[in-house]
Amino acid sequence: MLIKLIEVYSEANHSAKSTESVRKFHLREVVINSQYVVTMREDTHLEYYLEKDLLPEGLDKKQKFTTISIMRGQIGNDIPVVGSLETIMKMFNGDSRGLVKG
């Protein structure tokens, strides 16, 4: 089953005048094949960035985030998405008490 979510991604912005790297966050749609999901976990790092007003405008200060780990053959990939763990699990399962079938 394919699930459409909103991914939070960042790109480093290197200034020529400074040796510091500044993270700039963006949102984009992502479609995830539920068969490749290995784990899901609450992402508290993004909550910190939200509190510091470093995430894109328009997100509620109470917003929760989830990191989804997927496997692509021998390589894993973590995708941070907008939504609480319970909400994201419901999207994959239809029930927050079950496990993701993968």
Positive or negative torsion for Cα 65, 102, 10, 41:
positive
- SS3 call for 48: helix
CA distance 25 to 47: 13
Q: Give the C-alpha separation, 81 to 85, whole Å.
A: 10
Q: Would the pLDDT of 16 be above 80?
A: no
User: Alpha-carbon dihedral of residues 4, 83, 78, 42, nearest 10 degrees?
Assistant: -150
pLDDT band of residue 93 (cuts 50, 70, 90) is confident
State residue 100's pLDDT score: 43
Look at 61 and 11; give whichever has higher pLDDT.
61
Q: In which band, very low, low, confident or very high, does the pLDDT at 21 lie, cut at 50, 70 and 90?
A: low
- How confident is the model over 67-90, as a mean pLDDT? 93
